[in-house]
Amino acid sequence: MALIIKRAKFLGFCEGVKRAIDLTEQALSNQSSKKQKSNITVVGELIHNKQVVSELENRGLKVVSAVEEVKPGATLIVRSHGMPKAHIDKAKKKGIEIIDATCVKVKRLHTITRILVEQGYDVVLVGDHNHAEVEAIVESVQDNITVVSTPEELKDKKFSKKIGVIAQTTQSEQNFIDVVTNLLKISREMKIYNTICNASILRQNAAASLSREVDLMVVIGGKHSANTKRLAEICRKNVETIHIETGNEILPENIKGKKTIGITAGASTPSWIVDKVEEKIRKLSRSHNPSKK
């Protein structure tokens, strides 16, 4: 029987990532049309996809690790994860032009956090420690915020005041629900904002439902991409799952004996990478079953 490959109903690039790439490409084209040497800079990876970032670097994008490294006169792209306002202000003072590609959903999360702090809530942010989006939120409000990545991390935590709960935009809905459920046991008053973005929810639900129908799930996206890792975790609960960045990582033994394979991709994965992965799976399958050529 020929191998059946199914793609998740929702996968790959989200609106926020598309916008960040469009704005960066536009800025790079503007400079090259003026025959200027590129000074378009981003702090950290523009998106969690090495292949896309290295293509933009080839076109002149500079990637630095801290705002202090951005040169006066340069143009700074604020990536879709956002940046603390203090860093943006520091850059403006140095005469750096800002192109703000912060996703609108991340901006909403910043606004809600600020309002909760102003209203006197102890904020609990359900998110990954050390993730750029989470760090930007924490730096923006400084105190009155606690980051928890799992319900277990609530153990021994004490909240003196009323609690405001929010989530990193790419969190798994179930993890958010689990943390909220546990918080209910220790809080008398809570305000809950589900700030998980719709693009994440659609991709997670589509991946979960496809993973129940197939023998193997292939999840494509950056190894550091929070939303891709989340998709892999969700699929792994239902079926054997591999998380890869490109088709080169798929081995013949991964697909051996599989009748149906599902594919999904994180919000930073372009469609051309998804196409190449599917092509590679088909090629490997043909080499296992030469009669199906």
Active centre residues (catalytic): 133
Residue among 196 and 284 whose Cβ is closer to ligand F3S: 196
Q: How far is the CB of 122 from ligand F3S (least distance, A)?
A: 24
Query: What is the C-alpha separation between 246 and 173, in angstroms, rounded?
Result: 27
Contact flag: residue 15 with ligand F3S (CB under 6 A):
yes
Considering only 46, 199, 214, 219, the residue that binds ligand F3S (CB under 6 A) is 199
Query: What is the C-alpha separation between 252 and 281, in angstroms, rounded?
Result: 9
Residue whose token pair is 């989470």? 134
Contact flag: residue 106 with ligand F3S (CB under 6 A):
yes
DSSP 263-283: EEE-TT--HHHHHHHHHHHHH
Considering only 39, 113, 170, 204, the residue that binds ligand F3S (CB under 6 A) is 170
Question: Between the CA of residue 161 and those of 59, 116, 118, 153, 192, what are the distances in Å?
Answer: 51, 12, 13, 18, 14
Q: How far is the CB of 269 from ligand F3S (least distance, A)?
A: 11
Cβ-contact 94, 74 below 8 angstroms: no
Q: How far is the CB of 165 from ligand F3S (least distance, A)?
A: 18
The C-alpha angle with vertex 196 and arms to 183 and 66, in degrees rounded to 5, equals 100
Contact flag: residue 216 with ligand F3S (CB under 6 A):
no
Q: Quick one: which segment of 29-37, 180-188, 197-205, 248-256 binds ligand F3S (CB under 6 A)? A: 197-205
Q: Which of 154, 220, 247 is CA-nearest to residue 11? A: 220
Residue among 16 and 262 whose Cβ is closer to ligand F3S: 16
Residue among 112 and 190 whose Cβ is closer to ligand F3S: 112
The DSSP call for residue 144 is S
Residue among 16 and 221 whose Cβ is closer to ligand F3S: 16
Question: Between the CA of residue 128 and those of 102, 107, 112, 227, what are the distances in Å?
Answer: 18, 18, 18, 11
Contact flag: residue 267 with ligand F3S (CB under 6 A):
yes
Contact flag: residue 17 with ligand F3S (CB under 6 A):
yes
Q: Quick one: which segment of 15-23, 141-149, 236-244, 270-278 binds ligand F3S (CB under 6 A)? A: 15-23
Give the H or E element holding residue 41: strand 40-43
Considering only 78, 197, 208, 265, the residue that binds ligand F3S (CB under 6 A) is 197
Contact flag: residue 222 with ligand F3S (CB under 6 A):
no
* Tokens of residue 123, six digits: 């904020």
- x/- letters, 224..263, toward ligand F3S (CB under 6 A): ---x------------------------------------
Which amino acid type is present at position 121?
Y
Residue among 49 and 182 whose Cβ is closer to ligand F3S: 49
Rg (CA), the chain: 21
Interface positions with ligand F3S (CB under 6 A): 14-17, 80, 103, 105-106, 169-170, 197, 199-200, 227, 267
